[in-house]
Amino acid sequence: MSYLEAIGIHKAYGTREILKGVNLKVEEGEIVLIQGPSGVGKTTLLNILSGIDLPDRGNVFIEKRDITRMNEDERARVRLHKIGIIFQSSTLIEDLNVMENIALPLKLAGKRWKERVDSLLRYFGIEKLKYAYPPSLSGGEKQRVEIARALANSPRILIADEPTSNLDDENAKNLVELLLKIREDMETLIIIATHDIRIRELGDKKYTLEGGILYER
Ligand SMILES: Nc1ncnc2c1ncn2[C@@H]1O[C@H](COP(=O)(O)OP(=O)(O)O)[C@@H](O)[C@H]1O
Ligand SMILES: [Mg+2]
């Protein structure tokens, strides 16, 4: 079995079927791109893969364990330890500085956080932002903090929803470089959903979501 495996995922909102039997296998260290125009169901699928949301039918296995059969607490624990998520718009807490934001998942996991936060700040080249507050950061800086926070607990899975949508060409290019470096250094599998054609060549495997089905291209 693959590290992450989704089998026969169905999801409807009311009578509108968004996902109609999505299958996906992702191996450790793989980068997977999920493309498709706005409204096709990419975020819906990512939310199911990460256990934020449940499918109507189908299963999601992470390390052979079916997260759709876990209770809310168990799923939250899997998310905290095994999955880093970068959402489409910033979810940094504005009243906390950069250090405190990145420390959050470590504190939630009951881990020592000071050294880990410093090493993440160094890795992402944002040491000088340690005591800055999110509203004072640029889009690219905010995103680095988001990624640092997502990776704080060394998850094996990184999920990124439209990571380039708010970035200019140069920052979009930097982000791609950064994701490739993260995969090398942290052996993280990365799942990216995007409608941005600038990154259409990113990924070891590329899929298109269309009509509720995922096709490899
Ligand atoms: N919580 C929800 N309730 C009802 N409809 C939703 C909900 N979330 C998403 N949708 C609808 O499902 C479709 C797919 O949305 P989404 O997964 O966000 O697509 P994408 O990320 O590809 O743009 C859209 O038409 C959206 O309006
Ligand atoms: Mg979306």
Q: What share of the chain is helix, strand, coil (3-state, %, to 5)?
A: 40, 25, 35
DSSP 8-state symbol, 27: -
Binding pocket residue ranges, ligand 1, CB within 6 Å = 13, 18, 36, 38-44
- DSSP assigned state of 198: G
Query: Which residues are CB-neighbours of 181 under 8 A, at least 6 positions away?
Result: none
What integer pLDDT is reported at residue 95 of this predicted model?
Answer: 97
User: With a cut of 70, which residues of the chain have pLDDT below it?
Assistant: none
**Do residues 152 and 101 lie in contact, with contact meaning Cβ atoms separated by under 8 Å?**
no
DSSP 109-132: TT---HHHHHHHHHHTT-GGGTT-
Distance 39 CA to ligand 2 centre (A): 7
Cα(111) to ligand 1 centroid in Å equals 35
Give the ligand with the smallest distance to the CA of 44.
1
The residue whose CB lies within 8 Å of the most ligand 1 atoms, and thus the one to mutate among 9, 10, 11, 13, is: 13
- 190-210 pLDDT, tens digit per residue, is 999 999 999 999 999 999 999
Of the listed ligands, the closest to the CA of 36 is 1
C-alpha span between 171 and 173 (Å, rounded): 5
- Say how far apart CA 61 and CA 69 lie, in whole Å: 10
Which residue has the CA at smallest separation from atom 14 of ligand 1?
A: 41
Q: What pLDDT is attached to residue 39?
A: 95
Query: What's the CA gap between 126 and 134, in Å, rounded?
Result: 13
- From 43, 56, 85, the mutation candidate for ligand 1 (largest count of ligand atoms within 8 A of CB) is 43
User: Which CATH number is 71's domain given?
Assistant: 3.40.50.300
- Tell me the residue length of the chain: 217
Which residue segment(s) compose the domain that 16 sits in? 4-216
Pairing of strands 16-26, 4-13: antiparallel
Is pTM beyond 0.85? Reply is yes
The three-class DSSP label of residue 3 is: coil
The predicted structure's pLDDT at residue 166: 87
> Number of structural domains, the chain?
1
For the CA of 161, the nearest atom of ligand 1: 21
